[in-house]
Amino acid sequence: VLLKTLDSFWRDHLVNMNRLNSAVNLRSFGHRNPLEEYKIDGCRFFISMLSATRRVTVESLLRYWSSPMESEELVSQNN
């Protein structure tokens, strides 16, 4: 589950970084350092990606562990 989720978010992250590269070059017209802007925003994107990966992985695992089939098995074992 983690690997599948991480792979999906990583591909999205790479696409976002390519878009950021294009957008940062425009910021140089505003007298900002494009490299610093790229580093700052890239770090934000990466942290956001990790957070989303954790959230989706945990949600997927909780959904799997709390499936109705498992609940029915627990009830039948207690009887």
Of the candidates 9, 1, 4, the one whose C-alpha atom is nearest the C-alpha of residue 53 is 9
| pTM assigned to the model | 0.71
Q: What percent of the chain has pLDDT over 70?
A: 85
The domain spans of the chain are: 2-66
For residue 59, pLDDT beyond 60 = yes
Mean pLDDT of 19-30: 84
Nearest-angstrom CA–CA distance, 12 and 68:
32
pLDDT at 74 over 60: no
Q: How large is the average pLDDT for residues 16-39?
A: 87
List all residues 6 or more positions away from 27 whose beta carbon is below 8 Å from its beta carbon.
Answer: 34, 37
